[in-house]
Amino acid sequence: MKTYEQLILANKAWVQEVTDLDPDFFARQARGQRPEILWIGCSDSRVSPEQLTQTLPGEMFIHRNIANLVHAHDLNFMSVLQYAVQVLKVPHIVLCGHYGCGGIRAVLEGGTRGQIAEWLKNADNVCNAHADEIARQPSDDAKLNRLVECNVRDQIVDLANTDIVRNAWAAGQPLQLHGWVYDLRDGFLKPLVEVQSADDVASLPAEPPSMLGTDGAPELSATEVARQKMPEGL
């Protein structure tokens, strides 16, 4: 069976499963959405927001692009943001990067052309703004992963500086921005920065806290460390 045919088959199985557990699920879905989260993430196929947070349809409004960038001139991104904040009035926006991000790697290594190069200019700016911090990392992987963290921090600042978020805060609308990083190796999300007012943004440190270990690799979670220490066969 072809990969795309498997999707249709899997969909049928999913409908059956969901309906068995909750016969009214789809009737409720049809009545409308009231998500509390806007998720802004990378398009990378390994970073699937609903799966890694066990959220059901209806729980997150989602925008994904290469390297989870905030482009104030991107009509797609800005209309998603406007709808989420002004109509859905989500109280939380999660902006999630991930270690080993190919878009961020391309910024460091160069060589991209066309639309991707144009799109990544925003991340180029992040790279330039944190050049010293990136340069002092001990390896190429560490440089990449530290830039991923700096990118999350700077995109949160750019997000906070959009008219949509500033106006929401000025009107007293509760809106928290959360900058997280996802670790592909163990599946865990790592909270990095959080702001809920213009004052919070102004007092953010220039560099985000680092989740990287002394060897420059992201610290593995305790469970992953324990798993790796298990003898073969267990």
Residue 44 or 158 having the CB closest to Co ion: 44
Q: Find the catalytic residue in 92, 96, 101, 153.
A: 101
Residue 70 or 201 having the CB closest to Co ion: 70
Q: From the CB of 45, what's the least distance to Co ion, in Å?
A: 10
Helix (H) or strand (E) segment spanning residue 63: strand 60-65
Q: Find the catalytic residue in 28, 46, 136, 185.
A: 46
Residue 69 or 164 having the CB closest to Co ion: 69
Q: Is 42 a catalytic residue?
A: yes
Residues that bind Co ion (CB under 5 A): 42, 44, 101, 103
Backbone angles phi, psi at 40, to 5 degrees: -115, 115
104 in Cβ contact with 151 (< 8 Å): yes
Q: Is 178 a catalytic residue?
A: no
3-state helix, strand, coil in the chain (%, to 5): 50, 15, 35
Q: From the CB of 46, what's the least distance to Co ion, in Å?
A: 8
Q: Is 98 a catalytic residue?
A: yes
Nearest to 41 by CA among 97, 81, 92: 97
Q: From the CB of 67, what's the least distance to Co ion, in Å?
A: 6
Structure token digits, residue 19 = 């309906």
139 in Cβ contact with 216 (< 8 Å): yes
Q: Is 44 a catalytic residue?
A: yes
DSSP, residue by residue, 105-125: HHHHH----HHHHHHTHHHHH
Structure token digits, residue 105 = 């790697």
Residue 103 or 179 having the CB closest to Co ion: 103
Q: From the CB of 100, what's the least distance to Co ion, in Å?
A: 8
Residue 101 or 212 having the CB closest to Co ion: 101
Q: Is 73 a catalytic residue?
A: no
Beta-sheet strands, E only, within 155-234: 176-182, 189-195
Residues 6+ positions from 150 with CB-CB distance below 8 Å:
126, 129, 130, 133, 134, 207, 208
Q: From the CB of 44, what's the least distance to Co ion, in Å?
A: 4
Which residues participate in catalysis according to the annotation?
42, 44, 46, 98, 101
